[in-house]
Amino acid sequence: MKSIWKIDEDKRDPEGGWTFIETIIVIGIVLILTSSVGFMAFRYLDKAKTVTAKNDIENFSLALSSYYLDCRKFPTVDQGLMALWEKPASDADGWDGPYVNKTPGKDPWGNGYDYFLPGPAGLPFGIRSFGADGMEGGGGNDRDVNSWEG
């Protein structure tokens, strides 16, 4: 007696390929796994932008200290952080830059860094990024990143 579950050798596909349904199921599983990884990546992308802003501000702070040692003063607010890259037209006796490796540009969210003199709490200067929203204050991804807080 023949079993109904056994496939006859004559009816078996010699190519051994997948059926259409099996292919759709595999594609569905791959899409589910890919989307879950994508959502996790977005969460870490926001954290990476905050860390990048902190590193940029720390680099600017070190460069401003070097500028101060050479010029005996900090760049004016009008000169801004660009004074770390190219010699200002005035008031830059002793300038021996550039003090940074690249042009001071925008923060990771596409906004300019805020540089001001004097800094808060008696500090000589302040540097700040306004976060993702580009406005003062906020929490989470919109939180400000600045030179006077760790």
Q: Report the percent of the chain where pLDDT is more than 90.
A: 43
Per-residue pLDDT at 126: 93
Q: What type of residue is 115? A: Y
Residue by residue, DSSP assigns 17-64 as: PPPHHHHHHHHHHHHHHHHHHHHHHHHHHHHHHHHHHHHHHHHHHHHH
3-state secondary structure 106-127: ECCCCCECEEECCCHHHCCCEE
4 part of a folded domain: no
Question: And the tokens for 41?
Answer: 């990546």
9 part of a folded domain: no
8 part of a folded domain: no
88 part of a folded domain: yes
38 part of a folded domain: yes
107 part of a folded domain: yes
How many folded domains does the chain comprise? 1
Question: Tens of pLDDT along 10-30?
Answer: 566 556 677 888 889 999 999
Residue 82, pLDDT above cutoff 90? yes
71 part of a folded domain: yes
CATH of the domain at 133: 3.30.700.10
Question: Tens of pLDDT along 122-144?
Answer: 899 999 999 888 888 888 778 88
5 part of a folded domain: no
Q: Of 136, 134, 115, nearest to 126 (Cα)? A: 115
Tally the C-alpha atoms within 13 A of residue 79's C-alpha that lie toward its C-beta.
17
Q: What type of residue is 36? A: S
Print the domain residue range for 94. 20-146
